[in-house]
Amino acid sequence: MKEINLRHLNWMIEDILKYESGKIHFSELVNSLDVLISSGEFVADLENKLLSMWGVLEESYAFMLYEERDNLDSEDLRATSKALENMKKLILVTLTDNETPKN
């Protein structure tokens, strides 16, 4: 995997952790992940998985805006938490796989 893609994945993890610790707002996370995924040069399978998980976040954010809420409701919170957990797992596995020397 290209070095820039590894950096993008690390930045995604950092942003997810910032959001989970309350350092950035949900809107910042959604926008940041969108930019990082779309500007990466990921293999199609990885990109599709990331976009699918990001889509859950984007949909929740769209509903939040449509309903003029400042925060996610409990249903959206459950869905986004699951999507973020899955995204973190996928990213960490991908990063780990790319750290392992290939024989």
Reduced 3-state DSSP string for 37-65? HHHCCCCHHHHHHHHHHHHHHHHHHHHHH
Provide the number of structural domains found in the chain. 1
Domain that holds residue 78: 3-99
With 0.85 as the threshold, say if the pTM is over it: yes
- pLDDT tens column, 59-81: 999 999 999 999 999 999 999 99
- pLDDT tens column, 13-55: 999 999 999 999 999 999 999 999 999 888 999 999 999 999 9
Structural element, H or E, at residue 83: helix 74-99
- When pLDDT is cut at 50, 70 and 90, the band that residue 100 belongs to is low
For residue 103, pLDDT over 60 is answered with no
